[in-house]
Amino acid sequence: MSDTTCGATDGSNSNSDDSETEAATDGGAAAEAASGSSSGCGASDESSGSSCGASKSAATDEKVGSTADDFDAEPGRLVAVGLGPGQPEGMTQRARATLLEADHIVGYTTYIDLIPEEVTEAADELYDTPMCGEVSRTEEAVDRALAGNDVAIVGSGDPNVYALGGLALEIVESKGATASALDFEVVPGVPAAQSCAARVGAPLVNDSVSVSLSDHLTPMAEIESRLRAVAAEGFTVAIYNPWSRKRRENFETACEILLEHRPADTPVGVVHGAGRDDETVEIVELGELKSLGETDLVDMTTTLLVGNEETYVWDGRMITPRGYESKYDY
């Protein structure tokens, strides 16, 4: 068993479930077995090669359990920052400025790698965990802020879309602290639904809904019920986390539910790895979608944009009319 301080968690007890979820464009919950390590607040632990500011390669959902009363310092600041779709130019100026001001930056290893080098070099300390560390690293960020540091916890997309903005507030509350004491703030980023929609045209310009197929935190029965309710109405639908090795059936079930309520020729935008080196974009018909589960196009980095009964494809772009054509001549 390793020693931990400053909110770092012991990686000896890890929980394996959805091993691919956190690769999605917006934040998600995921799990992957990890080895233990030790961490110290600002001092390097030579036995593990890790410190409270060095990159840390262990992750667990086990909580340290410290409270606000355990910290003598005046609280610092905690900001949840959305990095957007992945490429540096997709980050907002506000997000970049916030990260440049932060003393400590905390995040999933893949997301830390998305941050421009000039930003990471300006930080005093970086702390990252691989998949499965969403609870432990969020608590790490909270504890660092309670210890008096200016802390940014980062994720791709937007902190309020299947990400850690809410978890951060829940952990602050559980520790007996307040969001006001930590000057907690969310700095939004472009969510996957919007960045992926931009790749295929204008599919989400009318009422739309997002649904995640990840049953890591939400039972599949609830996901199916929500999807049926959405599919029966005229919403366009952004589907997150469509596929993983353990969720093949979820994707197939979702395709079947959509086909119960929408024609087989309904356009669907399929965007794999938006903003990343392996980005791939296709527009297919709903009746073809299920077969794509057997290809590399649909995985945890894919977002699906399902059109409604009015959505059509023109010149290689999806268009969902907003309704102007019924009121104006053009």
For residues 215 and 170, the answer to whether their CB atoms sit within 8 Å is no
What is the reported pLDDT for 255?
Answer: 97
Q: Which residue, among 294, 80, 300, has the nearest Cα to 171 in the 3D structure?
A: 80
What is the reported pLDDT for 324?
Answer: 66
Confidence label for 72 from pLDDT (cuts 50, 70 and 90): confident
Per-residue pLDDT tens over the stretch 91-125: 999 999 999 999 999 999 999 998 999 999 999 99
How does 86-101 read in b/e, with b if 16+ C-beta sit within 10 Å? Answer: bbeebbbeebbebbee
What is the reported pLDDT for 220?
Answer: 96
What is the reported pLDDT for 59?
Answer: 37
What's the rounded Cα separation, in Å, for the pair 59 and 65?
Answer: 16
Name the phi and psi angles at 101, rounded to 5: -85, -20
For residues 171 and 78, the answer to whether their CB atoms sit within 8 Å is no
Statement: residue 81 has pLDDT above 90: yes
Amino acid occupying residue 194: Q
For residues 14 and 60, the answer to whether their CB atoms sit within 8 Å is yes
For residues 140 and 69, the answer to whether their CB atoms sit within 8 Å is no
The residue ranking higher by pLDDT, 10 or 149, is: 149
Residue with tokens 């310009």: 205
For residues 227 and 251, the answer to whether their CB atoms sit within 8 Å is no
Statement: residue 321 has pLDDT above 70: yes
Statement: residue 167 has pLDDT above 80: yes
Least confident of 22-36, 52-66, 143-157: 22-36
Residue ranges of the alpha helices (H) in the chain?
93-101, 109-112, 117-122, 134-146, 165-174, 192-200, 220-231, 248-261, 286-289
Q: Which residue, among 241, 19, 4, has the nearest Cα to 137 in the 3D structure?
A: 4
Residues 146-153: what's their mean pLDDT? 97
What's the rounded Cα separation, in Å, for the pair 51 and 4?
Answer: 10
Per-residue pLDDT tens over the stretch 5-28: 343 333 333 223 333 344 445 654
The residue ranking higher by pLDDT, 139 or 86, is: 139
pTM for this predicted structure = 0.79
Q: Which residues are CB-contacts of 118 (< 8 A; sequence separation ≥ 6)?
A: none
Question: Which two three-digit tokens encode residue 328?
Answer: 């104006």
Residue with tokens 């197929």: 213
Query: How many percent of the chain have pLDDT more than 90?
Result: 66
What is the reported pLDDT for 29?
Answer: 34
DSSP conformational letter for 81: E
Greatest Cα pair distance, the chain, in angstroms, is 73
Per-residue pLDDT tens over the stretch 250-288: 999 999 999 999 999 999 999 999 888 889 999 999 999
Per-residue pLDDT tens over the stretch 178-207: 999 999 999 999 999 999 999 999 999 999
Confidence label for 131 from pLDDT (cuts 50, 70 and 90): confident
What is the reported pLDDT for 115?
Answer: 94
What's the rounded Cα separation, in Å, for the pair 200 and 282?
Answer: 8
What is the reported pLDDT for 83?
Answer: 95
Per-residue pLDDT tens over the stretch 290-317: 999 989 999 989 999 999 999 999 999 9
Q: β-strand 302-306 against 236-240: which pairing, if any?
A: antiparallel
The residue ranking higher by pLDDT, 134 or 9, is: 134
Residue with tokens 């421009």: 116
DSSP conformational letter for 50: B
Residue with tokens 């929980």: 15
Least confident of 37-41, 163-167, 258-262: 37-41
Statement: residue 80 has pLDDT above 90: yes
What's the rounded Cα separation, in Å, for the pair 81 and 156?
Answer: 8
Domains of the chain, CATH where assigned: 78-190 (3.40.1010.10), 193-319 (3.30.950.10)
